[in-house]
């Protein structure tokens, strides 16, 4: 009597002939593929051979969760998308263009009382005090200044009106 394995296998993943040909073409003739792509190709081949998730993960050096993810991506979207990452969402911009313009205009003017020049930290504090934004980090302010090629802590790089000194 043949013993049937009760270990979990990936349900119904069978590579079609064109898909197997596509995977073989990806690695033929010494083509350069990334390690991540090669790993996903191997995952699909082993799942097609009806290996368990844990066996595939151990064979390619990853986690069963990643094996499951690649298998489902193949079943839902096809072989080409199974070899790529899901698109990552872009984080929303912390400052809109109006707020960025207000920060730039602020650092082009004279620094607040008690300071000789604008620094990123002073700019961050003043941005909050003047109500341009409710909460902002120093890195966001630094990126805004860098994007506009401003270095307000260097007097010679900031446009300031001539005060006749």
Render pLDDT for 100-138 as a digit per residue (tens, 0 to 9).
999 999 998 899 999 988 999 999 999 999 999 989 999
Identify the pLDDT of residue 164.
56
**pLDDT bucket at 3, cuts 50 / 70 / 90:** very low
Of 100, 92, 93, the closest CA to residue 141 belongs to: 100
Percent of the chain with pLDDT over 90: 55
Q: What is the pTM of this model?
A: 0.56
- Element containing residue 22 per DSSP (H, E): helix 17-27
Contact in structure between 63 and 57 (CB atoms under 8 Å): yes
């Amino acid at each position: 009597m043949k013993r049937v394995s009760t270990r979990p296998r990936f349900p119904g993943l069978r590579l079609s002939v064109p898909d197997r040909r596509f995977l073989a073409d990806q690695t033929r003739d010494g083509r350069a593929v990334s390690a991540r792509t090669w790993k996903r190709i191997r995952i699909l081949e082993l799942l097609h051979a009806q290996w368990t998730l844990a066996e595939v993960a151990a064979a390619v050096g990853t986690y069963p969760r990643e094996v499951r993810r690649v298998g489902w991506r193949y079943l839902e979207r096809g072989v080409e998308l199974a070899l790529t990452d899901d698109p990552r969402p872009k984080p929303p911009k912390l400052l809109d263009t109006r707020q960025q313009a207000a920060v730039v205009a602020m650092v082009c003017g004279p620094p607040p009382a008690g300071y000789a020049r604008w620094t990123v930290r002073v700019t961050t504090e003043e941005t909050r005090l003047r109500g341009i934004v409710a909460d902002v980090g120093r890195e966001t302010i630094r990126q805004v200044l860098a994007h506009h090629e401003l270095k307000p802590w260097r007097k010679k790089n900031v446009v300031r009106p001539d005060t006749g000194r």
